[in-house]
């Protein structure tokens, strides 16, 4: 067995077996974050199914989830699940709009919902590319930066920092155009 210095590569002995017990803890630790990710980005009726799909993928690929970067991996997987979901054709029933305004009356009071109600913020964000919005949301709403943001975006740390900087600058420009 080769001698390793601390910090050089993963210690196979310290990485727990990724069995049902591991997954239960993994799910308990990250389910709320994944759920909130979808609450901020998808129709409320789809949130539970989308979150379940992410964790089903995580179970199937549990051996490939990078140790120490589990949440960024989940966010990246969630972005793929959401993109695939949005490409699927949907059928909207008229009964879904029975209250006349197109809004369901039983809404969550999550702070993210309150922020997105603000028309000025929504207009400024809508002027950005999907990529810029994604970078800003991962940073501001999900709290990712540095290595976590890089892992979620599939970039180097420097690339993620540059993407965040550019997205912030474009948001400032969009905001200034409105005001």
CATH of 109-179, picked from 3.60.15.10, 1.10.10.10, 3.20.20.70, 3.30.70.260, is 1.10.10.10
Can you tell me the distance from the alpha carbon of 1 to that of 5, in angstroms, rounded to the nearest whole number?
Answer: 13
Greater confidence (62 vs 117) lies with 62
pLDDT computed for residue 93 by the predictor: 55
29-59 pLDDT tens trace: 999 999 999 999 988 999 999 999 999 999 9
pLDDT computed for residue 92 by the predictor: 54
Domain residue spans of the chain: 19-87, 109-179
Q: Taking residues 122-139, what's their average pLDDT? A: 90
Can you tell me the distance from the alpha carbon of 157 to that of 167, in angstroms, rounded to the nearest whole number?
Answer: 15
Can you tell me the distance from the alpha carbon of 174 to that of 140, in angstroms, rounded to the nearest whole number?
Answer: 17
CATH of 19-87, picked from 1.10.1740.10, 3.40.630.10, 1.10.357.10, 1.10.20.10, is 1.10.1740.10
Q: Is the pLDDT of residue 12 over 60?
A: no
| CA–CA distances in Å: residue 118 to residues 82, 114, 121 | 23, 7, 6
The pLDDT-based confidence of 127 (bands split at 50, 70, 90) is very high
């Amino acid at each position: 067995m080769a001698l390793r210095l601390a910090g050089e590569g993963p210690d196979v002995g310290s990485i727990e077996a990724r069995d049902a017990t591991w997954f239960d803890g993994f799910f308990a630790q990250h389910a709320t974050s994944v759920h909130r990710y979808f609450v901020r980005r998808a129709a409320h009726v789809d949130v539970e199914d989308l979150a379940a799909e992410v964790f089903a993928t995580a179970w199937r690929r549990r051996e490939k989830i990078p140790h120490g970067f589990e949440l960024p991996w989940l966010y990246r997987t969630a972005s793929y699940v959401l993109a695939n979901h949005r490409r699927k054709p949907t059928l909207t029933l008229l009964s879904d709009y029975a209250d006349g305004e197109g809004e369901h009356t039983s809404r969550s009071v999550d702070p993210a919902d309150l922020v997105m109600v603000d028309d000025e913020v929504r207009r400024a964000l809508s002027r950005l590319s999907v990529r810029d919005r994604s970078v800003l949301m991962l940073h501001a709403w999900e709290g990712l930066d540095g290595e976590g943001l890089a892992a979620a975006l599939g970039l180097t740390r420097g690339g993620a920092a540059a993407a965040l900087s550019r997205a912030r600058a474009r948001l400032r420009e969009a905001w200034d155009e409105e005001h």
